[in-house]
Each structure stands twice: as C-alpha cells, then as structure tokens.
Amino acid sequence: MEFRRLVTMFFGMRLPISLGQPQTSYPQVIKASGLCAGKGVFIALNKGEALRAVKDIFEDRIFGDAGDEVVIEDFLQGQEASVFVLTDGRKYRLFLPAQDHKRIGDGDTGKNTGGMGAYAPASLVTPEVMRRVEERIIQPTLKGMAEEGCPYTGFLYVGLMIDNGEPSVVEYNARLGDPETQVVLPLLKSDFIAALQASVDGTLEEVPFEMHEKSAATVVIASAGYPDRYVTGKPITISRDVAAMEECYLFHAGTAIKDGLPVTAGGRVFSVTALGDTLGESIDRAYRVVEKVGFDGAYYRTDIGAKGL
Ligand code: GLY
C-alpha cells in the first residue's frame, strides 16, 4: 500500500505534510503519540523505512494503544538544550539553559537513557539564541495558551534543538527535567519558594529571580547494565568527606535503606552536582565527589560537560 494512502487512511485530513510527494525529504521522524518509555520513535531514512514504521505502529500495534495516532516531523539536526520557564500565566522567568547527556556512553554513544549528566549554563544557548527562544517560542507558546482560555501556570520545560544558532522545539513538558534540575536549581540565588508562591499568586514580576554567576555540572552514577536490565540491592559506601565538600550535592535517586544501610534500588542511583566559578571547575569537583561514592558495578560517563568547555 502506498505510504500516503496508508497514512491518509488513519489521519484523514489531519496529516500535516504530504507524505510520498517528491518534496518529502528524509530522514523523517515517526513517533507513536502515546507514552512508550522513550522508545516510540523511528527515524526513517527513506520511504521504505517510513512505511515499515507506520505498519509496525498501526498494523502490528507494537506500542499498543500508545500508537493509535502517530506524529510525523522533520528530523532536526544540531545539539539539544533545555530551557525551564516559570510562569504565573502572564509573566515568566527563565532559569539558566542546561544541556543533558542522554546516551549511556562517552561521546554520546549507545542507548538512550533518562539522562546521564548535565551542565549549566549551556554555552550553545548564547544571549542571542535565548532571545530567539523567547521571541519565537516561549512568548507565543504562553500567549497561545492564554488566548485559548487555559493560561499556563508553573514550570514549562522547553526541549530545544539548536542548529547554527537557530532553535527548534523538540518537546514541551509540564515539569522540570531530570537531570537538568540538579544543575539548574542550585544556580538559583534568590528564594525558590517565594518564586513558586508568586507563580501561583500571579505576582512573579514582584519577586527577585537571580542566578549565581557560576557553573554547575551533575554526573549520574548508574547501576551496571542500565538502561537495560540491572541488579539492585547492592550495598553503597559514601566517604565521610562528602559532607564537608562545599557547593556539592549528592542527590539520591535509586537508593533505599535495607537493614539500616543504604543500597541501590534503581537504574540511576545518584546524581552528583558541583558548582564552580567555571564549567571546568564544576566538572572537576563533581567527579571528585563521584570517586567518593561506591557500589558494585557503579557506572558513570566520564565526559559530562566536555561539550560545553
Ligand atoms: N532530561 C530529559 C527530561 O527530563 O525529559
């Protein structure tokens, strides 16, 4: 069956692009629109792969109901960055831009994960890029939601692809991001709770919203095997020096207490954040803390933040 006919059959008039026409350029991104634990995405390099993806989703139902509808988008090239917005529905404030490291291996190799580390501010989001993000993405998004009668309040996560300084939206989330939050929030100098309250009260422009003039890096320590199968229940040791290290944070993610002692209880076990006057300093400090945390099979990337140096 022709791709265009097949898709039209499922989409009716809602298909945003005319697939199968000469103007379709590949790669195209074909996604199940429901939640698939981050696995519902095909990158079709040609028409044959696109047809197979649509067949897998619609006919073979490999994602079940999550594949009742698909989203087809142009493939975006560049580097990803995350910008978190706090809004009260009218005004908004921006946190420092961050960059996540989604692949399991150094050099962005291997499988996608929930995130193996992050740093902020992300230098690829220059003031000029941020201006474009605000004018072309954030302001129209907030304005559009308000005009449609549902002004948005709280955190908006804008996932971006930046290509030669040109930002495109990859995704929005109605939440903060992990592990970006572990670098973005420690860089907030002013009162976080006051800002949250102001976003609820509609008074965001009345409260201070200032950032430290520092950098932050966070390194995720994961269980061996993550993001595939991994074993939990491994005893954890943490050197006593960690408590004395300033501007360092050891965030527990997949940990538990068993018989009074800490053990691993998830794929991503810790996120270790450090601040520094420069990105290089924050990275060095974070890795110094990482060395003080141990459990059997502990795995972490060794190049977190290197792209920003
Ligand atoms: N770091 C990606 C996310 O939180 O969705």
Residue ranges and CATH numbers for the domains of the chain are 3-74 (3.30.1490), 79-206 (3.30.470.20), 215-308 (3.90.600.10)
Confidence of residue 295 (pLDDT cuts 50, 70, 90): very high
Q: How far is the CA of 35 from the centre of ligand 1 (A)?
A: 14
Mean pLDDT computed over 159-180: 95
Q: How far is the CA of 56 from the centre of ligand 1 (A)?
A: 26
Confidence of residue 13 (pLDDT cuts 50, 70, 90): very low
Q: In the predicted model, is pLDDT for residue 74 greater than 80?
A: yes
Q: In the predicted model, is pLDDT for residue 144 greater than 90?
A: yes
Best mutation site among 173, 183, 184, 185 for ligand 1 pocket (most ligand atoms within 8 Å of CB): 173
Q: In the predicted model, is pLDDT for residue 7 greater than 80?
A: no
Q: Which residue type occupies 105?
A: G
Best mutation site among 36, 41, 169, 178 for ligand 1 pocket (most ligand atoms within 8 Å of CB): 178
Q: In the predicted model, is pLDDT for residue 18 greater than 80?
A: no
Considering only 12-21, 24-33, 96-105, 199-208, which range has the smallest mean pLDDT?
Answer: 12-21
Residue whose Cα lies nearest atom 3 of ligand 1: it is 177
Q: In the predicted model, is pLDDT for residue 293 greater than 70?
A: yes
Mean pLDDT computed over 117-135: 97
CA dist 180 and 83 (Å) reads: 9
Confidence of residue 21 (pLDDT cuts 50, 70, 90): low
List residues near ligand 1 (CB under 6 A).
100, 115, 173, 177-178, 180
pTM to 2 decimals?
0.84
Q: What is the mean pLDDT of the chain?
A: 91
Q: How far is the CA of 157 from the centre of ligand 1 (A)?
A: 9
CA dist 279 and 63 (Å) reads: 41
Q: How far is the CA of 83 from the centre of ligand 1 (A)?
A: 11
Q: What would the pLDDT profile of 216-267 be if each residue is shown by its tens digit?
A: 999 999 999 999 999 999 999 999 989 888 999 999 999 999 999 999 999 9
Q: What is the pLDDT of residue 40?
A: 85
Considering only 16-25, 27-36, 181-190, which range has the smallest mean pLDDT?
Answer: 16-25
Residue of 128, 251, 110 whose CA lies nearest to 180: 251
Q: What is the pLDDT of residue 222?
A: 98
Residue whose Cα lies nearest atom 5 of ligand 1: it is 177
CA dist 285 and 298 (Å) reads: 18
Considering only 26-40, 181-195, 254-268, which range has the smallest mean pLDDT?
Answer: 26-40
Mean pLDDT computed over 277-286: 98
Q: How far is the CA of 118 from the centre of ligand 1 (A)?
A: 10
